[in-house]
Chain A
């Protein structure tokens, strides 16, 4: 499996399991139809904005759960804060680089 695929798999699992764990399967399927987990990798900012349009004030808590889940899967502590999506995605990318070596493709 390539680095990119591994990262995608990791992030998809974090996003779907965090939503499922908080709001259930029905909400997870509905939400990930509108907010693709892969968007979190390519643009955490856009992911946040799209999520906020749909679930509004519930966004910070859901992002906190996603960051926490991804941190646990990576075995790291979030650098900048409990809800820092950009930070945790950067850490995830770095972890993939460390795992495989080689230059960054992002």
Chain B
């Protein structure tokens, strides 16, 4: 699955990048990958998956919101519900908001976080597709 590319290799049409790869115009980069639209989407899904579960805190936040999709709370409230401090989860929450799985809304001077059900479903479906598209 993994490509072998180093920074100092040529990308001329008939040269090898590694022992088993050529980069002629219409050839695969590696045995298992090509640059079709589906693989681009799969690449996006893979990096989303990695970002979603890049920390234990993110895992716990996803569990919390998936089990409680109607939860809407500020960072202190959310941190309290998973037994963490708000500083410990700030950057994880920000990442989940940037992916779109969580949304924010303002109440007074407070940011309130909630599960964006539609976007969350979209992300889940794309990750499911990505996993199904992989070979063992």
Contact between chains at B134 and A54 (CB < 8 Å): yes
Does B43 reach chain A (CB closer than 8 Å)? no
| Residue from the list A25, A29, A33, A64 in contact with B59, Cβ < 8 A | A64
B49's nearest neighbour on chain A, judged by CB, is A58
Name which of B17-25, B103-111, B123-131 contacts chain A: B123-131
Given A22-B62, A30-B131, A54-B131, check contact A64 B56 (CB 8 Å). Answer: yes
Contact between chains at A24 and B127 (CB < 8 Å): yes
User: Could you tell me which residues of chain A, from 20 to 47, have a CB within 8 Å of some CB in chain B?
Assistant: 20-27, 29-31, 33-34
Does B112 reach chain A (CB closer than 8 Å)? no
Contact between chains at B63 and A30 (CB < 8 Å): no
- The listed residue with most B CB atoms (<10 A of its CB), out of A21, A27, A31, A53, is A27
User: Could you tell me which residues of chain A, from 52 to 86, have a CB within 8 Å of some CB in chain B?
Assistant: 53-58, 61-62, 64-65, 82
Contact between chains at B124 and A24 (CB < 8 Å): yes
| Residue from the list B49, B56, B121 in contact with A55, Cβ < 8 A | B49
Contact between chains at B56 and A82 (CB < 8 Å): yes
Does B80 reach chain A (CB closer than 8 Å)? no
Does B113 reach chain A (CB closer than 8 Å)? no
Interface of B is mostly: helix
B60's nearest neighbour on chain A, judged by CB, is A65
Expressed in whole angstroms, the Cα–Cα distance for A10 and B74 within the complex equals: 35
| Residue from the list B1, B53, B121 in contact with A62, Cβ < 8 A | B53
A65 contacts across to B, CB distance below 8 A: 56, 59-60, 63
Separation in Å of the A18 CB from the closest CB of chain B? 8
6 tightest Cβ-Cβ pairs between the two chains A and B: A26-B128, A24-B124, A58-B53, A30-B131, A61-B53, A21-B63
Other contacts beyond A18-B63, A20-B66, A55-B49: 20, CB < 8 A: A23-B49, A23-B52, A23-B124, A23-B127, A24-B120, A24-B128, A26-B124, A27-B127, A27-B128, A27-B131, A30-B129, A31-B131, A50-B136, A54-B131, A55-B53, A55-B131, A61-B56, A62-B59, A65-B60, A65-B63
